[in-house]
Structure 1
Amino acid sequence: MLTIGLYNTYDTKKLHEAHIRAIARAAPVAYAYEFHLALIGFPFDSDDPKEVAERVASTTTIGEGGKYLLELAKSNKFHLLDFPKRGFPPQFGEVIATTSKPSKEKVIGSREVAEMALRGKSLMLIIGLGRHGLPKEVFEISKYHLDITDGREISLETCTAIGIIPARIKTLMEALKWKKP
């Protein structure tokens, strides 16, 4: 299971248009590249992914009016998570913080992530929403840190990261499959 985890660092008390847009933009990407989508710490008044998907879909034109978010919810690939206290639920597998400044002790390359995914390892790639990116606690509980620019340490805008991370991982997975004898 491959998961895009959107970590809310905007407002934890009130839902804003920025939350809705990020969700609506991430859903078609997750759907297209066969990823799950997990929202972490979003201020919804429901903990039912299908209800949340319907609410978001009713307020956006992005992703064909929320069609792909609804599809993810229907197929149980849309998840609502609280902020982690000690870690993330184990079904999401290895937690990978995405950052342009990975720690040397935890750095992992895109190719290694693709290889792990091909071996059937569950992975959750966490992307921070908001100006400040991911909080320190996420970096601490993450087993790996991924710079999607593979060592170039180029900071990407959130929606760019949402698009490029799954596309790069899936492309590398396809290339690695072709290389096998």
Structure 2
Amino acid sequence: MLTIGLYNTYDTKKLHEAHIRAIARAAPVAYAFNFHLALIGFPFNEDDPKIIAENVASTTTIGEGGRYLLELSKSNKFHILEFPRRGFPPQFGISIATTSSPSSEKSISALKVAEDALRGKSFFLIIGLGRHGLPKEILKMSRYHLDITDGKGVSLETCTAIGIIPAKIRTLMEALKWRGQLRKLYPRL
């Protein structure tokens, strides 16, 4: 299982348009690349993902009017989480903080994530909303750090990261599957 986790670094008391847009933009990406979508620390008055999906979908035109968020919800791939106290729920897999400044001892490549995902490991890719990225405690709490720009340290805008992280990992997974099939057909490669 692969999950995009959107970590709320905006207002924790009141839901804003920025929250809604981030959710509406992430849902089609999660749907298209077969990821789950988890919202972490969002200020909802409700905790039922299906009701939240319906409410968000009714207020946006993004993602075909919230259609993909509703699809994720129907297939139990939309999740609502509190801010973590001691760690992320284990059912989402290994936590990976996405950052342009990974620590050397926690750094993992997108290729390694793709290889391990093909072997059945689950990963929870946490993306911070807003200009400050993820808080230090989340970087510390996460088992790995992923710089999706392959060590270039390029800081990406939130919605760009939401799109590129799942696309790159899924593309690498497809390339690895394709390479494996070629090796079966042409063992001398």
Q: Fold-level match, TM-score > 0.5? A: yes
CA shift for structure 1 position 122:
0.7
The alignment of Structure 1 onto Structure 2 pairs a total of residues equal to 181
The residue correspondences of 1:8-47 to structure 2 (distance < 5 A) are 8-47=8-47
- Tell me how far apart the structure 1 counterparts of residues 131 and 44 of structure 2 sit (CA, whole Å): 21
CA shift for structure 1 position 129:
0.2
Instruction: Tell me the residue number matched to 1:69.
Output: 69
- Mapped pair 1:169 → 2:169: yes
- Where does structure 1 differ by over 2 angstroms across 4 or more consecutive aligned residues? none
Counterpart of 1:137, as a letter, is E
CA shift for structure 1 position 120:
0.7
Instruction: Tell me the residue number matched to 1:54.
Output: 54
Deviations 1:17-67 (A, max 9, x none): 000000000000000000000000000011100000000000000000000
Deviations 1:49-89 (A, max 9, x none): 00000000000000000000000000000000000000011
- Mapped pair 1:116 → 2:113: no
TM-score, normalised relative to structure 2:
0.95
- Tell me how far apart the structure 2 counterparts of residues 155 and 100 of structure 1 sit (CA, whole Å): 5
Counterpart of 2:81, as a letter, is L
Instruction: Tell me the residue number matched to 2:130.
Output: 130
TM-score, normalised relative to structure 1:
0.99
Deviations 1:125-146 (A, max 9, x none): 0000012110011111100000
Which has the larger Rg? Answer: 2
- Tell me how far apart the structure 2 counterparts of residues 30 and 101 of structure 1 sit (CA, whole Å): 24
- Tell me how far apart the structure 1 counterparts of residues 106 and 79 of structure 2 sit (CA, whole Å): 26
Query: Any stretches of 5+ residues in structure 2 without a counterpart?
Result: 184-189
Instruction: Tell me the residue number matched to 2:102.
Output: 102
Instruction: Tell me the residue number matched to 2:179.
Output: 179
- Tell me how far apart the structure 2 counterparts of residues 153 and 31 of structure 1 sit (CA, whole Å): 27
**Residue 173 of structure 1 aligns to a residue in which SS?**
helix
- Mapped pair 1:140 → 2:123: no
- Mapped pair 1:86 → 2:86: yes
Counterpart of 1:11, as a letter, is D
**Residue 131 of structure 1 aligns to a residue in which SS?**
coil
CA shift for structure 1 position 152:
0.6
**Residue 22 of structure 2 aligns to a residue in which SS?**
helix
- Tell me how far apart the structure 2 counterparts of residues 60 and 40 of structure 1 sit (CA, whole Å): 20
**Residue 24 of structure 1 aligns to a residue in which SS?**
helix
CA shift for structure 1 position 103:
0.3
Counterpart of 1:43, as a letter, is P
Identity of matched residues, %? 80
